[in-house]
Amino acid sequence: MKKVDVLHTRVDNRRVDYVLDRKTHLPVRVAVFYGFGDRATFAVDLSKYVTVSGIQMPGKEEG
């Protein structure tokens, strides 16, 4: 399992967590929480990054 860092943020008074690969700092998951509690309402997993015009973009999204 990859080592990750989790960045907890708030957007429009909603919790949004960004899970970042500790080595590359690329996001591997984004989770949005619309209610109360610790269970994400919506989450997308990001992987297979490719370079597009010099920018790393996820080639695969699941969720």
Tokens 């960045």 — which residue? 7
What's the structural domain count of the chain? Answer: 1
* Region 6-25 average pLDDT: 95
- pTM of the predicted model over 0.75: yes
What order do you get walking across the sheet with 42-52 strand by strand? 4-11, 14-21, 27-33, 42-52, 55-62
Tell me how many degrees the CA angle 25-18-51 measures, rounded to the nearest 5.
45
Give me the percent of the chain exceeding a pLDDT of 90: 76
Which residues span the domain enclosing 51?
4-62
| Per-residue model confidence (pLDDT) at position 21 | 97
| Per-residue model confidence (pLDDT) at position 28 | 98
